[in-house]
């Protein structure tokens, strides 16, 4: 068993390897390799093949490429365009106008894509030209898209939640259920913030748009049906006990293909692009998990979780204090690491401590995803900031950063709320299970 100083040195080594540009999976493996060689010698490396096999031989991981493929099909079949137009018809008269459509469309699209990056790119491509033409404030426009897209890893089905469940042996069904109410609540909170900013600074929302006839507004609701039905089917078969999360992902892909056919967008080039992108994204995620599984094994062998637990106990810190320390830890880490890598790299050390303190693993999964969400719009590494800036194509990324700042503060306040009101997370999974 090694001390807290050696463990901290190893973590800093891994972070340094990532900062100099090494792939995340390679940085994790090199850190584990170095630690194993210095403390246990060559024999421990003979288990590497077994670690790869045991880490990837998990049926639930099949859901990852399926949910990625589901999102890729919907991105390319024009679902987001119709969804955005429909929500614009209903939300244009709210304080903030079409800015609410950015949040609403992101929430709906997140509920079927499972990816923040896909949501940011898709909604950004649809919304930015429209809002720019209507003279909406550029900073707030970019901020609403970047922040709204973070809902993609909270509202189920979420790839990050699947990975968390796989790594911690926590029920995916319970995690999905736990993310629904916080996802809805955070969506409403985002829209309330937009309304408040628009009332205080009326110029940010551009000129008011005339209301559309009720007949046209009702007709536009048909555009909301595809993502809503896919979400209902994917979640319904899980909670009805008819399918596992992996099987429900396959059902969702079938539904997405039917939507593409109905919209007359189903072509061989569309399928080819969606499959290539799915393979690329899935390979990246699963390779990181291979490195993380070996790192997890070495960390366990070195007794780092027990060392950290003993260190916290000696400090006299309780669960609340530890959670506030974790908020600070992940805020700092989010400035230097990509969110998925941050979650996978820290779980092997943090999760045993959380369990030791009696914190519910389902609740902690949502807490961790919220911290990952915040990292997505925290400079300088926040992925959504660069996605939105890339879609904008003009101006400075500082506009996106300043536009996202109010939402970062709101997400931190929401995370603290969940610490003192865990029932918002646990009520639905307790009811269903």
Instruction: Spell out the per-residue pLDDT of the chain, length 433, in tens.
Output: 566 677 677 777 777 776 676 776 777 778 877 877 777 766 666 666 666 666 666 677 788 788 888 878 887 887 777 778 888 878 877 888 888 888 888 888 777 766 677 777 778 878 888 888 888 888 888 899 889 888 878 888 888 888 898 888 898 889 999 999 999 999 999 999 999 998 888 877 766 667 777 777 777 778 888 888 888 888 888 888 788 888 888 998 899 899 888 888 888 888 898 888 888 877 877 777 777 777 777 776 776 666 666 666 667 777 888 899 889 888 877 776 667 777 877 887 788 888 888 899 999 999 999 998 888 888 766 778 877 888 787 788 888 889 899 999 999 999 999 999 999 999 999 998 7
Distance separating alpha carbons of residues 419 and 403, to the nearest angstrom? 26
For residue 76, what pLDDT is reported?
Answer: 81
Distance separating alpha carbons of residues 31 and 291, to the nearest angstrom? 10
The whole model's pTM is what? 0.80
For residue 406, what pLDDT is reported?
Answer: 92
Q: At what angle do helices 268-302 and 339-356 cross, to 10 degrees?
A: 40
For residue 55, what pLDDT is reported?
Answer: 61
Distance separating alpha carbons of residues 177 and 21, to the nearest angstrom? 37
Q: Which of 231, 238, 220 is nearest to 151 (CA)?
A: 231
Distance separating alpha carbons of residues 18 and 28, to the nearest angstrom? 9
Distance separating alpha carbons of residues 219 and 197, to the nearest angstrom? 31
Distance separating alpha carbons of residues 263 and 430, to the nearest angstrom? 39
Distance separating alpha carbons of residues 201 and 198, to the nearest angstrom? 5
Using CB atoms within 10 A of its CB, is residue 243 exposed (0-12), middle (13-18) or buried (19+)?
middle
pLDDT tens digit sequence for 157-197: 888 888 898 888 898 889 999 999 999 999 999 999 999 99
Length of the chain: 433
Q: Which of 110, 161, 183, 191 is nearest to 384 (CA)?
A: 110
Q: Which residue bears the tokens 């550029």?
A: 138
CA quadruple 391, 392, 396, 402: dihedral sign: negative
For residue 368, what pLDDT is reported?
Answer: 93
For residue 35, what pLDDT is reported?
Answer: 76
Is there a contact between 28 and 345 (Cβ–Cβ < 8 Å)?
A: yes
For residue 309, what pLDDT is reported?
Answer: 66
For residue 44, what pLDDT is reported?
Answer: 63
Query: E strands of 265-424, at which residues?
Result: none
For residue 395, what pLDDT is reported?
Answer: 80
For residue 2, what pLDDT is reported?
Answer: 66
Using only C-alpha atoms, what is the Rg of the chain? 22
């Amino acid at each position: 068993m090694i001390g807290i100083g050696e463990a901290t040195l190893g973590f800093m080594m891994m972070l340094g390897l990532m900062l100099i540009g090494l792939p995340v999976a390679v940085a994790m493996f090199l850190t584990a390799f170095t630690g194993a060689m210095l403390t246990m010698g060559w024999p421990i490396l003979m288990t590497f093949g077994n670690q790869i096999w045991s880490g990837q031989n998990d049926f639930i991981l099949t859901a990852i490429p399926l949910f990625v493929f589901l999102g890729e099909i919907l991105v390319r079949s024009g679902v987001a365009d119709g969804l955005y137009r429909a929500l614009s018809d209903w939300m244009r008269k709210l304080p903030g106008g079409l800015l609410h459509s950015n949040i609403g469309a992101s929430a709906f699209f997140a509920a079927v894509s499972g990816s923040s990056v896909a949501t940011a790119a898709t909604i950004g491509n649809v919304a930015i030209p429209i809002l720019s033409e209507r003279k909406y404030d550029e900073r707030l426009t970019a901020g609403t898209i970047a922040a709204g897209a973070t809902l993609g890893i909270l509202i189920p089905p979420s790839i990050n939640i699947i990975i968390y469940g796989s790594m911690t042996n926590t029920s995916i069904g319970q995690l999905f259920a736990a993310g629904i109410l916080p996802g809805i609540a955070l969506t409403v909170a985002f829209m309330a913030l937009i309304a408040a900013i628009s009332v205080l600074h009326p110029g940010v929302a551009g000129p008011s748009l005339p209301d559309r006839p009720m007949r046209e507004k009702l007709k536009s609701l048909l555009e909301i049906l595809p993502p809503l039905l896919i979400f209902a089917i994917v979640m319904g078969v899980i909670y009805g006990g008819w399918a596992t999360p992996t099987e429900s992902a396959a059902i969702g892909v079938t539904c997405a293909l039917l939507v593409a056919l109905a919209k007359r967008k189903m072509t061989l080039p569309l399928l080819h692009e969606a499959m290539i992108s799915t393979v690329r994204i899935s390979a990246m995620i699963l390779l990181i998990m291979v490195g993380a599984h070996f790192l997890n094994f070495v960390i366990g062998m070195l007794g780092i979780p027990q060392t950290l637990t003993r260190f916290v106990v000696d400090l006299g810190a309780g669960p609340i204090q530890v959670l506030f320390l974790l908020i600070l830890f992940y805020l700092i880490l989010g400035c230097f690491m990509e969110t998925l890598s941050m979650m996978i790299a820290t779980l092997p050390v943090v999760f045993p401590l959380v369990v030791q303190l009696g914190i519910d693993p389902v609740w902690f999964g949502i807490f961790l995803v919220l911290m990952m969400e915040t990292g997505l719009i925290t400079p300088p590494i926040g992925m959504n900031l660069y996605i939105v800036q890339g879609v904008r194509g003009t101006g400075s990324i500082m506009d996106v950063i300043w536009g996202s700042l109010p939402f970062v503060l709101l997400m931190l306040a929401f995370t603290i709320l969940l610490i003192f009101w865990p029932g918002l997370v646990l009520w639905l999974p307790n009811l269903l299970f």
